[in-house]
Amino acid sequence: MRAKLFDAVLDLKGLDGVLKDRGLGVQGRVQCFVDQEVIRACDDKVPFETGTLKNSALTASAIGAGLVVYATPYAHYMYMGEVYGPNIPIYEAGELAGVFSPKGQAKQPTGRKLAYAGAPQRGDHWFERAMAEHKKEILAGAAALAGGRPEGGGGG
């Protein structure tokens, strides 16, 4: 028996359309879902004193861009969970009123851990802790929105 030969062309020009139809990509319904669910999953893990840090994810993030932003001057320090210094004390009337660092001197980790109100639920590295708990359900929701099924979802 003789094999038949044929020519084939794979046209991927429509790939962008397929991705858009499935809600994938920047500003697509799947990315919006993932961004919102990440913020939701992190919500009760973000350090909370006044709510400014926690709420900054809603005001500073462009939902659908694939990047959740916590936008406060102290967000990095809170996320790392370590005191950065130097911190030179400021006293007013014999009471500690605050601290400052000399201008032009970069803050460095001191090796001292921060203490968080609401710990151990609230504290450092909130994204990693939230994903350890909620990653599978977020991926399952994203897959369903895209018209697929999560990895390991079976089928056939």
User: What pLDDT does residue 129 have?
Assistant: 98
Question: Which pTM was predicted?
Answer: 0.79
Q: Is 57 helix (H, G, I), strand (E, B) or coil?
A: helix
80 is written with which tokens?
A: 């790392």
CA distances from 107 to 64, 79, 87, 100, 126 (A): 33, 15, 9, 10, 22
What stretches in the chain show pLDDT beneath 70?
A: 1, 12-13, 152-156
Task: Read off the amino acid at residue 11.
Answer: D
